[in-house]
Structures are given as C-alpha cells and as structure tokens.
Chains A and B, each alone.
Chain A
Amino acid sequence: MKSLNKLIPLLRNYKGQIFLGLFAFFVARFFEICTYYLASLGIDLIADLYQGITNLSFTITELVLALIATVVLRFFVVSAARRAIRRVGIAVAHDLRQDLYRSVLAQGPTFFSAFNVGDIMTRAIQDISLVQRLVSFGFIALVIMVYAPLFGVGAMLMKSVPLTLLVVPLLPVIFVYTVKMAREMGNSSREVQNKLSQLSSHTQENLSGIRTVQAGVQEKNESDRFWKTNDGYALSFFEQARINSLMSAWLPFFASIAQLVIVLYGGFLVIEGDMSVGDLVFFFACLSMLLAPIKMAGFLVMIVQRAAVASDRIFEIIEADPEVKDNPSGETPDRISGGILIKNLNFSYPNRGALNLRDINIEVQSGEWLGVVGKVGAGKSTLLKMLTRLLRVPSESVFLDGHEIFSYPLGQLRKEVVFVMQDSFLFDEPIFSNISYDKPDRDVGDVWKAADSAKISESIAGFPKKMQTVVGERGVTLSGGQKQRTTLARGFVRDASILVLDDCFSSVDTETEEHILLQLKELRKNKTTIIVSHRVSTLRHADRIIYMEDGSVKETGSHTELINKKGSYYKLEKAQNLSADAVAELT
C-alpha cells in the first residue's frame, strides 16, 4: 500500500472534486433508500386499500410520483458524483503522464540502459491506466463499501430493532469470508496475468526465431513446448473462474441465511401485527443493499493490488534522478569561443569495471580543426560525448574557455557545442522540422543553405513536397546516405562554437564527403571543429589528429607528423592507400 501513498499529493490537487463526489454519492445513496422505502409504503398502501381502509394520508398517485422523483433526483446526483470522481481519475492520469514525460526528457544514458523504450512505454500506457482505474472505480467501490451498510443498517434499525439485531451478526462472517476470497481472487488474477504474459513472450520469442526453429526442424518440439504454456494459461484461467464462481455461489448462500431469518422472524412479526408487509419487503431490499459492497470486495482488492504495482513502476521513472545536472555558476561567458582543455580525464560507465577513458590530456585551440581516429571501442564517442555532457563529466577534467564545463548552463552548452551523432535519427516529421529541429521558426533560406552544405538539397528539391516532405513511417523513406546527410544538415544549420562530427560520413561516398568537407572548411574557418573518422582522406582536413586506442590517446600530431612517426596512424594510412583505388573502382 505504501506505493499508493505517492498518489496522495496528486489527489490533493483535486480535493474539492473528490469531496464533492463523495458527498454526492452520500446523497444518491439516500435517495436510493428512499425509493425502496416508498415502494414498501406503496405495498402497504395497496394492502390497506384492499382491506377497505380509506382514511389514508396520501394516494397511490402521490406516492408513485414521489418515488419517481427520488429516482430522477438520484439519477442526476449519481451522474454528477461519478462524473466528478472519474474526472479526477482522468486528471491524475494526465498529471502522471506530464511528470513521466518531464522526467524522461532529463535522463541520461544510464537511465536508458536500465529502461528500454518498450518498457517505458508500457509504464506510460498500461500502468497509468491501471492507476486511473483505481482512482475512477476504486473510490466508487470504497464509497459503496462504507455507505451501503451505513444506510442499510440504519434503515433496518428504524423498522425493527430485534430483526436487525438478528440479521446483522451474520455480516462479519460474510465479511471475513469475502476478505479471504478476495485475497485468493487477487492471487489467482495475478497468476492469470503472469501466465498471459508468459504466453505472449513465448509466442513472440518463438516467432522471432522462426527461421532457427525451422532450420533445426523444431516445429513439432516447439508446438509441444507451446502446448505447456498454452495449457498452463488455460488452467490458471479456469482456476480463477472457479474461485470467482465459488465466491458467487457462497455469497448468496450466506445471504439466504439472513433472508431465512427475515422470512421466519419477519413473517412472525407481520402475523403478530408488529410489522407491515411493506416493511418485510423493505427488509429484503435493505439486505441486498448490505450485501452489494461485499460483491465488490474482490474487484476492489484486485484493482488496488494491481494499481499498487503499477504505481511503483510509474514512480520508478518519475523519481529517477537525472545523472546530468544543470547547476550553472553564473560566471561563464555568454558565448563560448571554442577553446577546449581536457585534463587527466578518466571515465568508466556505471556498473562497468574497466576504464573507458584513461588519463586523457588534450588542448584544442579556439578555431582549430581536430581529427580523431581509432578502432571501434577505442573511446572516441565517449570522449566527445563529454563535450555536450551527454555523460557525467568528472570534475576538474573538462574546461571550455577556461571554465569547467558544468559551470555553463546546460542549455547554452548544448546550443553552442553541436554534436552530430554516428547513427542518424530522424523524426516522423517534415524534413524542414528535422533539420531545424532546435529552432522550428528558423528562416527557410537558412535551412536550404544547410541542406546545400550537406549536399542533400538536390534530393530534397526532388521530392514532391520539398522541405515539407514527411520522412519515415508516414512519408518518404530515405536511403541511409540521405538520412545521414539530413542529420549533417541538422548540425550545420546551427551556429556552433564547437562542431563535433562523430563518424557521420560512413554512409556517404568519398567523393560527396570530400565535397562536403571542402565547403565546411570555408564555413567553419577559425571555428573549432572535431571530426571523427576512419578514413585518412577525411582526417587529412584536420590541423591536428589524435589516434586513440583502448581509451587513451596514443599518437598526436598533424597528418604529416603522424606519417613520419611511422606508428599506428601510418599503418592505417598505408592500408587505406592501397585500397583507395579499389574503392574508387567499386563505387
């Protein structure tokens, strides 16, 4: 239940509505019991008329009109009550979604390696709707649990104290039984839920590996294996049905004992003339009102249990502490000029022992072009991600223009240090919005210019809707090279103090790449630019090159210096030169 406590602050915002709803339910319950009371009066009235008693205080018509009036009043009041409470449920779901979305936007890679997209989506969709159900229906069930016995017993007491006293002791027995059954129902429904998700994952697992299954002639085996899961689910489902059915069989049985008391003692009272026939009927009505909440107990236990689990899962996301924090010192310049100093930088990803970056010392002058090269896993991307604080930067190790990197406001830092990532990610939106993602109201001319620099403008001009062409699922599918160049344009369009291109020419042919780089050299003259690449032809454009291996810098120097050094870079150059003509012929 502790996990549900976290919902209280959210509910507090809707105090008014909740109290209104609870009060309206109270009133509705009152009208409901009035309806039954008036019906029982009606029966007495008919009996009196039948026996020829004429000096009655009201007519049948008056009575029925009063009865209809209570029904109509209840109709409006109960509608208002349910509406109020369900609105709270919807509003709480809305608020949870806001909080969840806000939280994920601020999270870093550690978070996203712990929770994958599918998992977060399930929490955002299923779990939030479970909480909504709890608020919308749980409150109502709870209200029924309290009000129904309250009114039921109250009304019975008014009619006959001894009969009430005979009936009421049965209630605790029924209650205890119900609670026990409700718990069993909760367990069995959880079991069904588990088996169902096993069934889903079994199906998913099998179908995704269908080729291996068929290659290994495992169809029969797999079907047999599936049978176990399938039958297991059916059995658990049947077990749940059995418990539910037992509950629906035993409850009327207990109730019938109470009814029996009413038949025997109530009948006796009526024969003795201590009670009217109408009162007897009224007693039966009150009894069903008393039992109504008990029928809901199982349902209530189930939704509370499920919502508690769901709430835990939601708050796990909402309360996750962002690993990258924004605490600007306020003493940093308004504009970064582009000088970078990396000092004794060591870094390892959380939960991984080995260092991913080892004692890195680099100084980049403002306006310098730096090339970075090294094998897959050498730590190039990890190093460069530090510059945009996509990872947690250790203190006293990365400085921009002489200030520690985290003394800059995070927003400013990421506006000025532009990082173009290795894999191109495009949103399911028009090309214009994809390129000008950081600033949707940018001048179209600027976007075309950037597209031009990335050599993608011709392709865009060729699409029927030009810049407004939607990419992805809902629109044109771009080739790998086109995607990468669009991503490049997204980097070029921004006025970057430092531009980092992390191996983003891999799907672009060398000729186009050369063309783009030459243009870029013009555009970014005297602006700090860092290029990661495997190709010597690309690296050659840099003023200085660092060669990384196993998380540390192995060689530093200009292209010529490194060639003369005859180290790793030299070997790479030789291997690539040999195949350069092969590449040309192949493409």
Chain B
Amino acid sequence: MENIKPKKDHSVFETELSGAVLNFQLLARIFFWLKPYRLRLVLSAILVLIASFATVLLEILISRVLVDYIIMKDTESLMPDLGMISLTQFLERETHFGDLFSVGILFFSITVIQGVASHWHRMTLTASIVKGLRDLRQDLFEHLETRPSSFYDKVPVGRLMTRVTNDVEALFEMLRGFGSLIGEFIPFFVALAIMFSASIKLTFILLTLIPVVWVVTFIFKGATREIFREVRDSVSALNQRLQESLSGIQVVQLSVRESRNFLDYSVLNKLNRRLEFRSINISTFYGAFNDSLIAIGLGMVIWFGAEEVLSDSMTIGGVILFTRFMTMLFTPVVSLGEQLNVLFRAMASGERIFQALDWDEQIKEPESPSPLPDRLLGRIEFKDLSFSYNPGVPVLSNVSFSVAAGEKLAIVGPTGSGKSTLIRLLGRFYDFSDGSIFLDGIDLNQILSKELRRRVGVVLQDFHVFSGSIYENISLGNPLVTKKKAQEAALITNAHDFITRLPQGYDTVMLERGANLSHGQRQLLAFARVLAADPEVLVLDEATASVDTETELLIEKGLENLIENRTAILIAHRLQTVRKSDRILVLNEGKVAEFGTEKELLSNRDLYHKLHRLQFQDK
C-alpha cells in the first residue's frame, strides 16, 4: 500500500488575505504573463516619452517663445527653451510667415504629435495588459478545470469564481493604474528637469509641497482606516440582515415579526448612514485639499518668481512656464496616494490567484498506462475495496463483488451507505489505494483517467446542462457525434419529443444551467448525451426528485433503452429500476450486506426486504 500524501489544508481558500505588504515577487510573476507582449510594452514606453516631451514643448512655446521672445522681445535669457526659439526663427526665415504665425504652426504640429503619440501609447499599453491578463485568466481556468473532485469537495465554488473574475479584474485595475501613473510621472520628470535648469531655488521651494502632500495623505489614511472598516462592517451587517429576512420570509410573516424586523433593520440602516456621513466628512476635506495644491503652487510661483525676475535670473515667460507646470507636478503626486490603495488590494488578489494556480492537487495517473482494447467487454470487479474521505471515517470497507459483461446491476442502500462513493471511485474521481477495481481484468489505477471516462459513462444526479445548443449539449464537441447521431441518441432515450417541441429544436440555445428545461427534460437530455458517447459501461445515479407521471414513464423507458447492450451500474431509487436489473447489491454502512437477484434477496427477508417496503412504498 502506498503512502497517501499529507492532506492539504483547503481552508486557505476561505481565509482573508490582506496583502498589506508590497510583494515584488508577485509583481514579477504577473510580468511573466506580460512577456509575450513585451514589444508592445516597449513601444508604449517610447510613445509616452514622446508624448511627454511634446506636452512640455507646448508649454515652452507659449511661455518662452510667445511671451518672452515675441512679446517681451527677450532673446538673451539663458532660460531653457529646448531649441524652440531657434526653431521658430528658422521657420520665420524659411517661410517668411510672421513670428506669431510660425509659433502657431509649431504649436499645431506638436499638438498633433502629442495627440497621436499619447493615443497609441494608451492603446499599446492597454492591449498588452488586456491580453496578458486574459492569458493569465485562461491559465487559471484551465488549471481549475483539471483539479480533482477531492478539491471541489472542500473548496466552495464561489471562492474559486471570485478568483477567476474579481481577482483578475483587480490586477487589471492595478496594471492600468500603474500604466497611467507612468503616463503621469514621465511628464513630471521632464517638467522637473526643465524647472531645475530654469531655477533651482524656485523648484526646490515648490518641491517642499510634496512631503506636505504625503504627510496629509498619511494622516488622512490613519484617520479613515477605522471609520472605513466600521462602514464596511455595517454594510455587511445590513446585507446579512436582509438576506436572512428574505430566506426566512415565511417564518418572519408567520411570527408577525415584520414591524419588529423593520425596526431592527432601520437601526442598522441608520447606523450605516451615520458612519457613512462621518467617513465623507473626512474624505471631502482630503479631496478638496488635493485640488487646492495646484492653486497654492501658483501663489508660490508668483511670490518667489517675482524676486527671481527682478534679480534678472528669470524671465516673465519663465514664471508663466512654472505656473503651467503646476498641474504636471502635482497630479501624479496626488494619484500616487490613490494608486497605493489599488495596489494593496491587487496584491491580495494576486496572492489569491497564485494560491489557486499553485495548488497542485490532482488524480494520480499511472506512469505506464495500460492501453484499453478497442471494444471493452465491460466486466467489472471490485476487490477488497476500502475508502475514506477523511482518515478514521471509513465510507467503504472491504467491498468485493463482480459484474459480468453486459450485466445490469442495481445498487440500493440507506442514505450514507456509500453508494455514490462506489460509483465515484469507478469513474476515478478519487484516488484509492486500499483494494482494487478491475475493468476487463485491467487495474483501474493503470488506466489514464480521461481514457477511462471515455469508456465508462457516468450520469450524475445534477444533470448539468452547458450553455449552448441542445445539439452541442448532446455531442459535447465530439466531431464523431453528427447531428444525425445526436438525433438518434435523443430518439432512443425519449428526449427527441421534447426537443422538437422547443422553439428551435436541436438548435435551441440553453439558458444558464438549462433553466429553460424542466428537471425531467434535463434528465432525458443527460441520457441522450451519454448514449451519444456510446460508452461500454454506464454508471448512473438515479434522480430522487419527483417528476410528473408522464415524464416518469418517458424516463423509465429511456433508461431502459440506454442500458441495453452495455454493462450498467445503477444507483436505484425506483422499484422499476431495480426490477429491470439482473442483480442487486445492497450496501449498508460501507459494506456489502446482500448481493443477488431480487427473488433471492426477498426470500432472505433481510435488509433488502425492509428497504423494499420502506423506500419503495409509495411507488
């Protein structure tokens, strides 16, 4: 017997991840998915550089060229102009347009360059992020698709769903945020460089505002952390209350609790309102502070710029240039504070995504799988099979029995006797090592699970319907199942009638999870699907839900046709189904209690005899 791997702790999927620290490894991992699009990213970076320079040049044209050179006639200043004055002079000389007109032409052409470059910067950046994360999402989905049942037993689907949707969305938001930060910071640095070369003193004075912004942001975050948490808590209390009232609405109404519940809810709702009021009291001030920065900077430029101009170390145009740079200087500083929140949230999302991607739980596949013959006979043998989901709680113990080729076996037993587990093991949904199952004499553990599932058709109780047409639901993408074959399968399993009555027949598109079909119809469709795949062995967990008599007859007959000419193992809940089987296996507490024909078992007057009366009494 092999050692079972140490059990994994699936509860990690339920715990909250805070993502409070910057995790650069995580960022590096995300970059792996962006790599195929790196050329576009490089192009994007070049374009943003061009766009930023163009933005700065436009400001220089107005302040240095228009104001200083043309209006003030000041050509001697050492203030930087990035060659714009010479360019204007050159244009003037060559075209004989006036100076104003030459500036106009330059202004217009640089605007066009700026517009085109920044548009394509955004496009290339978005394209690479969108595609990269689409690939990440696809990889995540495909990874989840191949996790075994033992994984899905323990991890709620909702948790996984948010990883595929919301968490990847959060990464989207973060990368786009990064992108736009870069788009803001490059002009920031270009502007800063020009400012330094124009006036070191004035630039330093303006830069003192930045730590002030950070201190204010820090204080703001501190002041709001608690209140935001309280708001979140009150919102979830409110939602929980509503959810509970809705789920138990009849109890609420029968207990005449409406007005009291309304009062309770009102108290929570008012509390929430009060907390929200408090939180905006702080956040509106913070927002207003941020937009005052540019204006304060403006005041400082005038105040200190005047001295610079009077001492001849700066021109009027220089002062104007500084005022125009204020937006470029403070916008990224403010958005940095906002982007941090997004970044932290995305960190947690990234962790959750990689946690799922790194989860390597899977069904053990044989190293040298035994090939299956073209056509199986369908002989099945269970030998000393024992199994438990959780150590110490045996579900099956020492189960041994065999089913002859073409035989129909019904499995009956009380709830929790291990019936479903038995067929799940036969479909290799779980690893087992204690005991064996043989299919035509081949050990199941030596067969690739996918190969096995192609030959052993399993119909589970939930009758999952995929969105897509009826035909697609029968063929399941198998090119061998033509429309004709699908129709044949539907005819044999009695599904054809209801399908042809659907608005578009076989082309009718199914709503989410087959919401436009009744339970009985979904069952018939599941039969047609498994018949179309033509497995040598059929395993079926019969539905317990009640359907109307007419449909029940259809299902009964459909099932009968379905199991014809193949080995079938049926977990039976209906007497009719038991009657149609050759032999019956009675399971009780994970053990084979009885095994034989119905006649034999009835004459035993043992467990089957009792079950027969109890379970099937209504039928």
Contacts and interface: CB of A to CB of B under 8 A. Distances in A.
Interface of A: 32, 35-36, 39, 42-43, 45-47, 49-50, 60-61, 63-64, 67-68, 70-72, 74-76, 78-79, 82-83, 86-87, 90-91, 94, 97-98, 101-102, 104-107, 112, 117, 120-121, 124-125, 196, 199-219, 221-227, 230-231, 233-234, 237-238, 241-242, 245-246, 248-250, 252-253, 256, 259-260, 263-264, 267-268, 270-271, 277, 280-281, 284, 375-377, 388, 390, 411, 414-415, 418-419, 421, 425, 427-428, 437-438, 440, 490, 575-576, 578-579, 582-583, 585-586
Contact of A117 (B246, B250, B280, B296): B246
Given A101-B262, A238-B126, A575-B613, A90 B141 contact: no
Nearest to A425: B248
B230 to A, nearest CB: 14
Tell me if B's interface is mostly helix, strand, loop or mixed.
helix
Given A211-B460, A217-B450, A249-B116, A267 B254 contact: no
A33 B238 CA distance: 44
25 contacts: A39-B299, A43-B319, A45-B306, A71-B296, A82-B288, A97-B269, A98-B266, A101-B242, A104-B242, A107-B249, A196-B169, A205-B512, A210-B147, A211-B462, A212-B463, A215-B460, A217-B453, A222-B145, A241-B122, A252-B114, A263-B104, A277-B71, A281-B320, A414-B256, A586-B614
B85 to A, nearest CB: 15
Contact of B127 (A67, A71, A98, A238): A238
A253 B112 contact: yes
B84 to A, nearest CB: 13
B51 to A, nearest CB: 10
Given A101-B265, A201-B512, A267-B66, A221 B476 contact: yes
Tell me if A's interface is mostly helix, strand, loop or mixed.
helix
B198 interface: no
Given A101-B245, A578-B613, A579-B610, A212 B462 contact: yes
B309 interface: yes
A290 to B, nearest CB: 16
Contacts of B165: 196, 199-200, 203
Given A46-B309, A98-B266, A219-B146, A241 B126 contact: yes
Contacts of B401: none
B284 A79 contact: yes
A271 B66 CA distance: 10
Contacts of A218: 476-477
Contacts of A208: 157, 464, 513
Given A94-B273, A231-B134, A207 B161 contact: yes
A508 B250 CA distance: 22
B100 A223 contact: no
Contacts of A50: 309-310, 316
Nearest to A439: B255
A576 B251 CA distance: 32
B130 A207 contact: no
Given A222-B145, A234-B134, A425 B302 contact: no
**What 4 A-B pairs have minimum CB-CB distances, sorted nearest first?**
A209-B464, A582-B610, A42-B302, A212-B464
Interface in B46-104: 58, 61-62, 66-67, 70-72, 100-101, 103-104
A237 B457 CA distance: 40
Contacts of A583: 614
A586 B614 CA distance: 10
Contacts of B123: 241-242, 245
B234 to A, nearest CB: 11
B591 interface: no
B429 interface: yes
A418 B254 contact: yes
Nearest to B152: A210
A205 B467 contact: yes
A376 B70 CA distance: 95
B204 interface: no
Contacts of B61: 263
In this complex, the member of B62, B298, B476, B513 whose beta carbon has the largest number of chain A beta carbons within 10 angstroms is B298
Contact of B144 (A79, A207, A221): A207
A83 B284 contact: yes
B309 A271 contact: no
B445 interface: no
B295 interface: yes
B303 A60 contact: yes
Contact of A63 (B126, B148, B302, B316): B302
A211 B438 CA distance: 22
A586 B610 contact: yes
Nearest to A100: B242
A579 B614 contact: yes
Contact of B302 (A46, A70, A267): A46
B13 interface: no
Interface in B238-276: 238-240, 242-258, 260-262, 265-266, 269-270, 272-273, 276
B38 interface: no
A438 B256 contact: yes
Interface residues of B, number: 131
Contact of A437 (B142, B146, B257, B265): B257
B476 A105 contact: no
B292 interface: yes
A82 B258 CA distance: 37
A224 B116 CA distance: 37
Contacts of A60: 302-303, 306
A585 to B, nearest CB: 7
Contacts of B533: 216
Given A75-B288, A207-B157, A270-B71, 17 more contacts: A50-B310, A94-B270, A101-B269, A105-B252, A199-B164, A199-B165, A209-B462, A217-B450, A223-B142, A226-B138, A230-B141, A245-B126, A250-B115, A267-B71, A421-B254, A438-B256, A576-B617
Contacts of A83: 280-281, 284
Contact of A74 (B71, B138, B246, B292): B292
B550 interface: no
B489 interface: no
Contact of B119 (A64, A86, A216, A246): A246
Nearest to B235: A125
Contacts of A585: 610
A202 B466 CA distance: 9
Nearest to A111: B249
Contacts of B142: 219, 223, 226
B243 A117 contact: yes
B529 interface: yes
Given A105-B262, A415-B256, A91 B127 contact: no
B244 A221 contact: no
A441 B114 CA distance: 72
A71 B295 contact: yes
Contacts of A117: 243, 246-247
A231 B157 CA distance: 22
Contacts of B160: 203, 207
A444 to B, nearest CB: 18
Given A214-B429, A418-B254, A585-B610, A264 B284 contact: no
A271 B71 CA distance: 6
Nearest to A233: B134
A166 to B, nearest CB: 13
Contacts of B24: none
A196 B161 CA distance: 13
Given A78-B288, A377-B546, A438-B255, A61 B303 contact: yes
B107 A124 contact: no
A216 B532 CA distance: 11
A410 to B, nearest CB: 8
A253 B101 contact: no
Nearest to B539: A215
B339 interface: no
A214 B614 contact: no
Contacts of A264: 100-101, 104
Nearest to A223: B142
